[in-house]
Amino acid sequence: MPGAEFTETIARARSGNAEAWGDLYKQYAPAIFRFCRRALPAREDAEDATTEIFMKVRDKLDQYDATRPFTAWLYKVSANHCWDILRRRRIRQDLETGEVETLPLEHPDPGQLDQLMEESTNLQVRSALDKLPARARMALVLRYYSDMSYDEIAGALGVRRAFVGVVLLRARHQLREILIGKKITGAEARGAV
């Protein structure tokens, strides 16, 4: 949607125009569903969350600052919603204290890291992501799926701005460990045959 047209759609949706709202929904529902799918454990959860997020969005449309990107706002609402769901289910037991983040990270061997990235497939990365603790996964999704800035991620996750980089790097390390584990088991499996 070109800018002017989009601004008008938003304005009409705000004034309660069902058609404009339908247009907005149709345009963004798939992206938000995918976002939820990445952030939440089960497909059914993602489906329900998508519906709920759009109900919230419609209620809160007045609060959207039209001078800023709509997608960023939409992802922020979505991130908050998914984060709430995870918190309600208490699967945020991990990393809540932040203690783990203060542990020093081992410096990676750049060559090995590069090789690991070369060998890993999208599918492997996704299944590894599913095994990550909720906050680590959420941080990666916000950054690399939603393209949110560090500021926005800090707001969505409720952490200090300076801490976002640590959360992201920690998440990458955890992801690598899972991927390496997979490589070994994969090689073992091949060797066994």
Partner 1 sequence: MSHYDEMTCLLYLDGQLDREHAVELSTHIETCGECRTLLAALESESRLLRSALTEEEESVPARLLEYAPEAKKREAAPLAWLATLGFAGSGAFTLWTWFVDPWQQQLNQAGFGGDSFLAMLFFGGVFWKGWETMVNLTELLAAVTLVILAVALFRRGWRRTPTVAVVLGALACLLVLPPAASAAEIRKGTDVQVDKGEVVKNDLIATGRSVKIEGTVEGDLIVFCQNLTMSETAHVTGDVLAFAQFVRIKGQVDGNVRSISNLTTLAGRVTKNVSSFSQTFELDSRSEIGGSLMFFTAMGTLDGRVGRDLIGFGAEHRLDGFIGGSATLKGERLTIGPSAEIAGKTKFTGEKQPSVSERAKLGSPIEVTIVTRRPNYANPSYYWRQTLRWGAAFMLGLVVALLMPGFLRETMREGDSYGLSLGAGVLALVVTPVAAVIACITIVGLAVGISGVLAWIVAIYASQVFVGAFIGQKLLGPAETTGALVGRLAVGLLVVRVAGMLPYAGTLAWLIVIVFGLGLVTLAIVKRSRPEAAAI
Contact status, residue 141 vs residue 132, Cβ threshold 8 Å: no
Q: Which stretch binds partner 1 (CB under 8 A): 36-44, 68-76, 80-88, 89-97?
A: 36-44
**Eight-class DSSP state of 185:** H
Contact status, residue 139 vs residue 152, Cβ threshold 8 Å: no
Site string for partner 1, 70-109 (x = CB under 8 A): -----------------------------------x-xx-
- Among positions 113, 185, 186, 187, the unique one binding partner 1 when judged by CB under 8 A: 113
Closest residue by Cα to residue 142 from 93, 71, 94: 71
Contact status, residue 154 vs residue 160, Cβ threshold 8 Å: yes
Contact status, residue 146 vs residue 75, Cβ threshold 8 Å: yes
Residues that bind partner 1 (CB under 8 A): 18, 21-22, 24-26, 29-30, 33-34, 37-38, 43-44, 47-48, 50-52, 54-55, 58-59, 105, 107-108, 110-111, 113-114, 117-118, 120, 122-123, 125-126, 129, 140-141, 143-145, 150, 165-166, 168-169, 172, 175
